[in-house]
Amino acid sequence: MSNNNQQKKGRSLDRDNVRAEIAHLGICGLVIPNGGAFVTLLALLQALWSTSSNPHPMVSWLLWSLSIYAIGAFAGGAIYIPRYYTSLRYEQAFQANNKQKEKHSLSMKR
């Protein structure tokens, strides 16, 4: 492989690594705030229930917001599953393309 081809391949791998890192940080940006808000509202719910014997009127709204933040944290964490399968498919297609190029270059040499 020539030096120019190695440089192109290196840039391609760097670009893929940067894209993966950006996606990872974006997902962390979804999970961390949702998880933090969930824990904060859970502490508020505990404080409201422990101070009085009758439920505070805000408890029902707090439970709804807890469920929304829980769904957001779950969705942010669950995004790794399709991301994993997408990367597997991408790798399989990349390998198949390389094999096809090798076969083509061998047939051209003959």
Q: Is the pLDDT of residue 1 over 60?
A: no
Confidence of residue 2 (pLDDT cuts 50, 70, 90): low
pLDDT per position as a tens digit, 7-55: 555 556 677 787 778 777 877 887 788 788 888 888 888 888 777 777 7
pTM of the model: 0.55
Q: Please, are residues 76 and 37 in contact by the beta-carbon 8 Å criterion?
A: no
pLDDT per position as a tens digit, 72-85: 888 877 887 887 78
Cα–Cα distance between 99 and 105 in angstroms, integer?
Answer: 10
